[in-house]
Amino acid sequence: MVAASAAKEALSRMEKEKFDLLITDLRLNLESGVTFLIHAKRLQPSTPLIVITGYPDTVSEAELKAYGADYLMLKPLELKELQRIVRACLHDNPSKELNN
């Protein structure tokens, strides 16, 4: 598992490394989560992406899916639901090895 404290850092890592799954908040420090989503999917189009938000009225689920999000989760998160979605994402990509 790898964590990034800013969208720019995450995108820079994505240019160098392949990831099995991306989980991002829709609101990022001073940056748009939608902008990050678009750039992330451009860099790694087949990598599943889970978007988390506490502000569902900011952008619709349909819009997020059009930008490349695979799942939208609303805060507060239900841990079991997050686990189910992560498993589904990784199961849909069984040939990928997990990053440490």
Per-domain boundaries in the chain:
19-91
- Render pLDDT for 36-45 as a digit per residue (tens, 0 to 9): 999 999 999 9
pTM of the model: 0.84
The set of long-range contacts for 91-95, using a CB threshold of 8 Å and a minimum separation of 24, is 92/48, 93/20, 93/46, 93/48
**Does 3.40.50.280 match the CATH number of domain 19-91?**
no
User: Residue 59 has which token pair?
Assistant: 């952008």
User: From residue 93, how far is each of 34, 62, 66, 67, 80 by CA, in Å?
Assistant: 24, 23, 20, 20, 20
| Model pLDDT, residue 6 | 86
For the chain, list residues with pLDDT below 50: 94-100
CB 3 within 8 A of CB 22: no
CB atoms within 10 A of CB 40: 23
| Model pLDDT, residue 55 | 83
Nearest C-alpha neighbor of 28 from the set 48, 1, 55: 55
| Model pLDDT, residue 29 | 63
